[in-house]
Amino acid sequence: MNSLLNINNLTAGYGYGPDIVRDFSLTLNKSEVKCIIGPNGAGKSTLLKSIAGILKPRSGEIFFDGEKISEKEAYQIMRLGICFLPQERAIFPNLTVAENLRMCAYSIKDKKVAEARIKEAIEMFPVLGQRLKQIAGTMSGGQQQQLVYARAFTIKPKIIMIDEPSLGLAPSLVEQTFNHITQIASSGIAVILVEQNAIRGLETAGYGVVMDLGKLVFEKPAKEVLQDQSLRELYLGKALEK
Amino acid sequence: MIEFLQVLILGICLGFVYALMVSGLTLIFGVMRIVNLAHPILIICGAFVSYWLFILIGLDPILSIPIAGLVVAALGVVIYKLIFERNAAQQTYSEMTVLLTFGTAMVIDGILSFVFHNTQRTTSPSYATDAIFIGDIFIPLAQLYSGLVSSVIIVGLAVFLKYSDFGIAIRATSQNRTSAELVGVNVKFVCLISFGIGCALAGAAGALVSFIFSFFPSRHWEWIAIMMSLVVLGGMGSLKGAVIGAIVLSVVSSMVGAFISPAWSTMVFFLSLFLILIIRPKGLFGIQSD
């Protein structure tokens, strides 16, 4: 129980529908980067939503730093130190960039710390500094992406969960995005990554977690997953054809 | 020309009062997607609070604005806790709220009518019948004061929403609840407080309405349609739109009343509602529905 995040026998689903995540267990240690791969509908996004508290688990428990979080509200879980970047661009399109950054730092009680963190984020992403008064939704895709990742550096969470970061992005932006993720990981934040571009995801991660039909199939160091021919054919097949 | 300016100034003053009347309605819709048909009856509640404070202890209705606001906000928070909060997760929430708030309006109307009867009342502070002249333009003080006070409250609200952390959180929540929750905003709390603020604005408007209009419990039915037309013109959920919609329609209806016939002035609201729904259903500054 010394790991940062413990997921024990988690089962989750939507409304009256079937279980999407079934009896799933996973642990995550400090500064670890794990990439969850698996076919569409495997329950990867649902898993992240359950951890973040957007979706209440049907059964099972989730512990963060020894504290049970599976019954907490999403904002409480976020304030404990788990930041979730969902598939849809997690910015407020009708707010200005400055207001978006203020919202990123909303959970930081100390105003001075909040301001300092926002400054840090702007230093990291100078484009945002030049566009503070612009309505966020009118920026280019790449700039919006920077705003999304600025959140990680503003909040400095213990864990960051990213759902399909490269989905719908131009190839050059995919590269930029993975650079941001590497940057986040190297600052000591643990990362759970769900990525359809499995090879790119595994190259970034320490561990590969394969999920199918809501269940954990196996977990191995990412390098082994990448090198294992049979695994590549089974789970990374599509990516290889490209 | 004098008459035109006169009508224009009165229309603008009244427009600000209308804007205050609908500001809470549009805020509540923007943040929570609640179409609050009970908003006008809450204004009547505020009017009653001011009326009785004036009758019983002689408190000026402008000074009783904070009290009317607080009383109606407290009432609103109770209503929210009782009937809205538990339904917030329902998919047809917005549609449901139309019926829920309609029912709420009927219940409050019934209680008020039972207790106070449907007699016309109006608060009559000394300035209610006074007027000043600027050149040849005649401005009744009641209209002038209520317009000024309304504009101050609206500017205060706009500044709060624009610059305070909580105000930005309210706007963020109205754009995307999940995203707001994910940056650590307690969305349930924000909704409760926004509903409270919206109702406080209704109460404040009620205090002003108590001396510029005559009121009785069932009068809110007549206001619902007018207020909806103002909000729809500006765009549901947009404060700026509601203020502009209120002033424009108030001026136009005053003009129609003065130069064509008073009988047609109310028609302006319904006609504009009709046209806006045909031409630009999301209003001038409307939020795209999700």
User: What is the ipTM for the molecules in this complex?
Assistant: 0.88
Mean pLDDT value across chain B: 91
Q: Do B181 and A107 touch (CB under 8 A)?
A: no
CA distance A76 to chain B (A): 7
Q: Do A75 and B169 touch (CB under 8 A)?
A: no
Least-confidence region, from A165-179, A201-215, B33-47: A165-179
Q: Do A106 and B171 touch (CB under 8 A)?
A: no
Q: Which residues pair with A68 in a beta bridge?
A: A63
DSSP code of A15? T
Q: How many residues does chain B have?
A: 290
Whether residue A97 is predicted with pLDDT greater than 90 in this model: the reply is: yes
pLDDT of residue A174: 87
pLDDT of residue A239: 47
CA distance B154 to B132: 24
Mean pLDDT value across chain A: 89
A217-242 mean pLDDT: 73
A207 neighbors A34 (Cβ within 8 angstroms): yes
Q: Do A52 and B182 touch (CB under 8 A)?
A: yes
Helix count and strand count (H, E) for chain A: 11, 10
Q: Where in chain A is the domain with CATH 3.40.50.300?
A: 1-81+157-169+179-242
Q: Which residues pair with A163 in a beta bridge?
A: A194
The CATH H-level superfamily of A1-81+157-169+179-242 is: P-loop containing nucleotide triphosphate hydrolases (3.40.50.300)
pLDDT of residue A242: 41
Whether residue B38 is predicted with pLDDT greater than 60 in this model: the reply is: yes
Residue with tokens 């039972």: B114
Q: Do B184 and A151 touch (CB under 8 A)?
A: no
B68-125 residue pLDDT tens: 999 999 999 999 999 888 877 777 888 889 999 999 999 999 999 999 998 999 999 9
pLDDT of residue B191: 93
What's the token pair of residue B175?
A: 């754009």
CA distance A113 to chain B (A): 15
B198-209 residue pLDDT tens: 999 999 999 999
Name the band, by pLDDT with cuts 50, 70 and 90, for residue A162: very high
B18-47 mean pLDDT: 94
Dihedral over Cα of A173, A195, A86, B287: its sign: positive
Note which residues in 9-68 of chain B have CB less than 8 A from chain A.
none
H/E stretch holding A219 reads strand A215-221
Q: At what angle do helices B2-32 and B187-212 cross, to 10 degrees?
A: 150
Least-confidence region, from A15-24, B67-76, B194-203: A15-24
What's the token pair of residue B162?
A: 């624009």
How many CA atoms does the CB half-sphere of A86 hold within 13 Å?
23
- For chain B, list the strands marked E by DSSP: 131-134, 137-140
B146 neighbors B17 (Cβ within 8 angstroms): yes
B134-164 residue pLDDT tens: 888 888 999 999 999 999 999 999 999 999 9
Q: Do A78 and B183 touch (CB under 8 A)?
A: yes
B242 neighbors B234 (Cβ within 8 angstroms): yes
H/E stretch holding B3 reads helix B2-32
Chain B residues touching residue A75 (CB < 8 angstroms):
181-182, 184-187
Nearest CB partner across the interface for B179, out of A79, A92, A99: A92
Q: Do A54 and B180 touch (CB under 8 A)?
A: no
Whether residue A240 is predicted with pLDDT greater than 70 in this model: the reply is: no
B202-247 residue pLDDT tens: 999 999 999 999 999 999 998 998 898 888 888 888 899 999 999 9
Name which of A157, A64, A150 is nearest A107 in CA terms: A157
DSSP code of A187? T
Quote the percentage of chain A above a pLDDT of 70. 96
H/E stretch holding B229 reads helix B220-234
Q: Do B171 and A90 touch (CB under 8 A)?
A: no
**Scanning every residue of chain A, which has its alpha carbon at the shortest distance from the alpha carbon of B186?**
A75
DSSP code of A31? T
Name the band, by pLDDT with cuts 50, 70 and 90, for residue A1: low
Q: How far apart are the first and last CA of chain A?
A: 41
Dihedral over Cα of B130, B134, B135, B139: its sign: negative
Interface test with B, best of A106, A156, A163 (most B CBs within 10 A): A106
CA distance B23 to chain A (A): 19
pLDDT of residue A236: 65
**Scanning every residue of chain B, which has its alpha carbon at the shortest distance from the alpha carbon of A156?**
B183
CA angle B225/B232/B65 to nearest 5° reads 65
Which residues of A fall below an 8 Å CB-CB distance to B?
52, 54, 73-75, 78-79, 83-86, 90-95, 99, 102-104, 106-107, 151, 155
Whether residue A238 is predicted with pLDDT greater than 60 in this model: the reply is: no
Q: Decide if B165 touches A, using CB distance below 8 A.
A: yes
Whether residue B288 is predicted with pLDDT greater than 60 in this model: the reply is: no
**Alpha carbon separation from A65 to A9, A154, B112, B165, B248 (Å, rounded):** 17, 21, 55, 29, 57
A193 neighbors A185 (Cβ within 8 angstroms): no
Residue type, B196: G
Nearest CB partner across the interface for A75, out of B165, B171, B187: B187
A122-149 residue pLDDT tens: 998 999 999 999 999 999 888 898 899 8
